[in-house]
């Protein structure tokens, strides 16, 4: 070894023994290393003195030395796959530390970035697959095995979260409790359950909120918002909506929606962090308020509604009228609001309902005019 100057921290050194790995193979080569501070470079020479590589000092990074062999250097990011030099000479190590202030600075090579991008992409794809494919598929399978008493508890918990959600939006009083209106509403719901057995009691309630909406929750809860009652022109139209929501209950769509939403929230909580798990119930509640079901699910609920309306003696015309009323009254903005956004009506669905009308049959009302008036005033004090 030959030193250019005793002030090696400022000048550098030449021909210091070192070991070199090219990063492409496991072969170790004995080399010489020289440090030129003036030109700001570290040069690696083979045993004949020919240059093998030249590393700018600003790119030098110190790797962790697990074997205790000395200073391990690479050019660029600290990556085990990169070329590296191992120095054991104490004075050479001191010179490099004095001349290379970026030794411990963290950087990432393009190859490492590629690995990171690939890992993030694969992880994102895996999460997306679980959220949009696996969780929905499992929700449909698991819904069948949920005991009625467990479903009822889930529905009650979701209902409490929905209550907090709507009260935060200045919903006013949560429940409308006019006794005459509630009794008439329950009579209407009971008439629409003829010939059907549910594993739990159907509980229908009205919320004092202007949103035009109605939705079913797990465990037989059906919530109707005041705005929908205000929109309905006849008791039959409200009965048609209730019959449709009963169809979702019969098909166990609410518990499937809740499992799907809670599963997604739980999965995302694992990824993003949510120690309390409250996001699962909150997301389930919001999902059930605006549940967007497939056409097949909505068609089955329509068919259930028409069958139950026929048993109750209510004209299927009412369901077609309500679809048309929503579109007529709300126009293009309808798609952003309430029941119409989650149960989008169409001319085909209205025509399907109207086709079920039996012209020779005399239809009746599930409630009297006085009872319908009580339902309309259910939120009045």
For 56, the token pair is 């700018």
pLDDT at 212: 87
Cα within 13 Å of Cα(225), Cβ side: 20
Q: What is the pLDDT of residues 196-223, one digit of tens each?
A: 999 999 999 999 988 888 999 999 999 9
* Active-site residue (options: 151, 245, 298, 317): 245
pLDDT at 187: 97
Burial tier of 212 (Cβ tally within 10 Å: 0-12, 13-18, 19+): buried
Residue (of 364, 375, 359) closest to 194 by Cα position: 364
Tell me the average pLDDT of the chain: 79
SS3 16: strand
- Residue 65 pLDDT more than 80? no
* Ranges 1-10, 104-113, 363-372, most confident: 363-372
pLDDT at 333: 47
Mean pLDDT of 94-104: 86
For 132, the token pair is 């949009």
For 51, the token pair is 């240059």
- Residue 131 pLDDT more than 60? no
| Contact present, 206 and 343 (Cβ < 8 Å) | no
Q: How confident is the model at residue 124 (pLDDT cuts 50, 70, 90)?
A: low
Q: What is the pLDDT of residues 259-309, one digit of tens each?
A: 776 665 554 454 444 444 444 455 454 555 555 667 788 889 999 999 999
- Residue 336 pLDDT more than 50? no
pLDDT at 277: 47
The CATH code belonging to domain 8-99 is 2.30.29.30
Sign of the four-CA dihedral 120, 123, 128, 131? negative
pLDDT at 6: 38
- Residue 7 pLDDT more than 50? no
CA distance 171 to 208: 7
Mean pLDDT of 67-90: 80
Stretch among 93-102, 221-230, 333-342 having the lowest mean pLDDT: 333-342
135-143 and 253-272 helices, crossing angle to 10°: 140
Distance of CA 236 to the CA centre of its chain: 38
Q: How confident is the model at residue 133 (pLDDT cuts 50, 70, 90)?
A: low
pTM of the model: 0.61
Q: How far is CA 256 from CA 55, 139, 217, 240, in A?
A: 61, 5, 10, 23
Helices (H) and strands (E) in the chain, counts: 15, 10
Residue (of 19, 23, 16, 1) closest to 96 by Cα position: 16
For 108, the token pair is 């990432």
Q: How many residues are there in the chain?
A: 381
CA distance 378 to 381: 8
| Contact present, 219 and 151 (Cβ < 8 Å) | yes
- Residue 99 pLDDT more than 50? yes
Strand order through the sheet with 51-56: 51-56, 41-45, 29-36, 12-21, 84-87, 71-75, 60-63
pLDDT at 59: 87
Domain boundaries, the chain: 8-99, 146-376
For 304, the token pair is 């259930």
Stretch among 74-83, 85-94, 165-174 having the lowest mean pLDDT: 165-174
SS3 355: helix
- Assess whether 197 carries a catalytic annotation: no
- Could you tell me which residues are beta bridge partners of residue 223? 205, 215
- Residue 83 pLDDT more than 80? yes
- Give every CB contact of residue 97 below 8 A, 6+ residues apart in sequence: 103
Higher pLDDT, 203 or 12: 203
């Amino acid at each position: 070894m030959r030193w250019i100057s005793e002030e090696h921290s400022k000048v550098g050194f030449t021909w210091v023994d070192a070991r070199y790995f090219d990063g492409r193979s496991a072969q170790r080569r004995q080399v010489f290393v020289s440090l030129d501070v003036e030109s700001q470079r570290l040069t690696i020479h083979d045993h004949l003195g020919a240059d093998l590589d030249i590393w700018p000092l600003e790119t030098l990074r110190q790797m962790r030395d697990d074997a205790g062999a000395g200073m391990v250097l690479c050019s660029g990011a600290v990556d085990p796959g990169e070329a590296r030099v191992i120095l054991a000479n104490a004075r050479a190590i001191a010179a490099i530390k004095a001349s290379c202030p970026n030794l411990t600075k963290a950087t990432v090579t393009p190859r490492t970035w590629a690995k990171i991008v690939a890992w993030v992409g694969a992880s994102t794809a895996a999460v997306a697959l679980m959220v949009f494919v696996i969780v929905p598929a499992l929700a449909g399978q698991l819904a069948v095995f949920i005991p009625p008493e467990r479903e009822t508890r889930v529905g009650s918990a979701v209902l409490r979260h929905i209550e907090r959600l709507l009260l935060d939006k200045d919903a006013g009083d949560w429940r409308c409790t006019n006794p005459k209106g509630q009794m008439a509403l329950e009579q209407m719901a009971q008439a629409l359950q003829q010939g059907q057995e549910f594993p739990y009691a159907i509980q229908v309630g009205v919320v004092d909120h202007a949103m035009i909406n109605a939705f079913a929750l797990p465990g037989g809860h059906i919530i109707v918002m005041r705005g929908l009652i205000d929109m309905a022109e006849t008791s039959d139209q409200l009965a048609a909506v209730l019959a449709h929501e009963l169809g979702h209950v019969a098909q166990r769509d609410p518990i499937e929606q809740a499992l799907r939403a809670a599963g997604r929230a739980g999965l995302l909580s694992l990824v993003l962090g949510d120690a309390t798990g409250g996001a699962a119930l909150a997301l389930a509640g919001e999902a059930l308020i605006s549940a967007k079901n497939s056409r097949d699910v909505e068609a089955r609920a329509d068919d259930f509604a028409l069958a139950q309306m026929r048993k109750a003696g209510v004209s299927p015309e009412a369901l077609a009228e309500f679809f048309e009323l929503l579109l007529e009254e709300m126009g293009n903005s309808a798609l952003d609001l309430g029941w119409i956004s989650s149960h989008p009506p169409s001319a085909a669905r209205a025509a399907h309902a109207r086709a079920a009308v039996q012209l020779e049959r005399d239809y009746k009302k599930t409630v009297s005019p006085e009872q319908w008036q009580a339902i309309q005033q259910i939120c009045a004090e």
